[in-house]
Amino acid sequence: MSQDLTGSTGNEIHYKPPGPVGKAFILSDAFVAGIRGPVGSGKSVCCVMKLVRNLQKQKRQRDGWIRRRTAIIRNTYAELRTTTIKTWHQWIPQSYGNYRDTSPPTHHIVDAAQKIDWEVIFIALDRPDDVRKLLSLELSDAWVNEAREVPKAVLDGLTGRVSRYPRREEGGCTDPQILMDTNPPDTDHWWYRMAEEPSQEDLETNAELEGKLRELGSLRQDQSLFAWFAQPGGRAPNAENTHNLDPGYYLKACAGKKPEWIKVYVDGQYGFVMDGKVVYPEYSDTLHCRPFEANPRLLLHVGMDFGLTPAAVFAQRMPNGQWRKRSEVVTDRAGIIRFAGLIKKHLAEQYPNFKIGSITGDPSGNASQGGDEEERNTFQLLEAHGVKALPAYTNSPTLRIEAARDPMTRLIDGEPGMLIHPDCTVLRKGYMGGYHYKRMQVSGTERYQDVPNKNMYSHVCDADQYLMIGAGEGKAIVKREPVANRPSFAITDYQTDF
Domain count within the chain: 2
The CATH number of the domain holding residue 293 is 3.30.420.240
CATH number at residue 51: 3.40.50
Q: Give the three-class secondary structure for 332.
A: coil
In a domain, 445, yes or no: yes
For residue 251, is it within any domain? no
pLDDT of res. 125: 87
Q: Where is the domain boundary, 196, 222, 244? A: 244
Count Cβ neighbours within 10 Å for each residue of 25-41 and write b for 16 or more, e otherwise: bbebbbbbbbbbbbebb
Question: 256 lies in a domain?
Answer: no
The pLDDT, as a whole number, for residue 480 is 57
pLDDT in tens, the chain (498 residues): 333 334 444 457 889 999 999 999 999 999 999 999 999 999 999 999 999 999 999 999 999 999 999 999 998 888 999 999 999 999 999 999 999 998 899 999 999 999 999 999 999 988 777 788 888 899 999 999 999 988 888 898 899 999 889 999 999 999 999 999 999 998 888 999 999 999 899 999 999 999 999 999 889 999 999 999 999 999 999 999 999 999 999 999 999 988 989 999 999 999 887 778 899 999 999 999 999 999 999 999 999 999 878 999 999 999 999 999 999 999 977 889 999 999 999 999 999 999 999 999 999 876 655 444 444 689 999 999 999 999 999 999 999 999 999 999 999 999 999 999 999 999 999 999 889 988 765 555 567 777 888 888 999 999 999 999 999 998 777 665 454 444 433 333 333 332
Do both 219 and 289 map to the same domain? no
One domain for residues 88 and 199: yes
Identify any residues that bridge with 33 across adjacent strands, giving them in sequence order.
179, 227
Q: Three-state SS across 402-443?
A: HHHHHHHHCEECCEECEEECCCCHHHHHHHHHHCEECEECCC
- Answer yes or no: do 385 and 437 share one domain: yes
Q: Are residues 193 and 313 in the same domain?
A: no
Query: Chain centroid to CA 168: how far?
Result: 32
| Cα distance between residue 474 and residue 402, in whole Å | 7
In a domain, 342, yes or no: yes
374 within domain boundaries? yes
Instruction: Give helix 458-470 / helix 397-405 axis angle, nearest 10°.
Output: 80
Handedness of CA 89, 91, 95, 99 (dihedral sign): negative
**Do residue 223 and residue 292 come from a single domain?**
no
Using CA atoms, how far apart are residues 124 and 78, in angstroms rounded to an integer? 8
Amino acid, res. 297: R
String of DSSP letters for 288-303: HB------TTS-EEEE
Instruction: Flag whether 110 is in a domain.
Output: yes
Strand pairing class (13-15; 3-5): antiparallel
Residues 236 and 337 in one domain: no
* Segments forming the whole domain that contains residue 489: 278-497
Q: Are residues 236 and 384 in the same domain?
A: no
Note if the bond before 185 is cis, omega within 30 degrees: no
Q: Does residue 152 sit in the same domain as residue 238?
A: yes
Task: Calculate the dihedral angle through the C-alpha atoms of 176, 178, 181, 185, rounding to the nearest 10 degrees.
Answer: -160
Residue 251 carries which side chain, given as an amino acid letter?
L
219 and 341 share one domain: no
State the distance between the two ends of the chain, measured CA to CA, in whole angstroms. Answer: 45
**Residues 283, 194 within the same domain:** no
CA quadruple 129, 134, 138, 139: dihedral positive or negative? Answer: positive
CA distance 147 to 145: 5
* Whether residue 228 is found in the same domain as residue 358: no
Q: Report whether 165 contacts 141 (CB < 8 A).
A: no
Nearby residues of 391 by Cβ (< 8 Å), 6 or more positions away: 360, 361, 362, 363, 365, 366, 379
Question: Same structural domain for residues 354 and 440?
Answer: yes
DSSP state of 248: T
End-of-domain residue from the set 228, 244, 260: 244
For residue 292, what are the CA distances in angstroms to 244, 325, 453? 53, 10, 30
pTM score over 0.85: no
In a domain, 392, yes or no: yes
Dist. CA 184–CA 148, nearest whole Å = 7
Residue 31 inside a domain? The answer is: yes
Secondary element (H or E) of residue 189:
none
Q: Residue 59 corresponds to which amino acid?
A: K
Cα angle at 226 between 220 and 230, to 5 degrees?
Answer: 125
> How far, in Å, CA of 250 to CA of 120, rounded?
33
> What 3-state DSSP class applies to 280?
coil
The burial of 160, by beta-carbon neighbours within 10 Å (0-12 exposed, 13-18 middle, 19 or more buried), is given as exposed
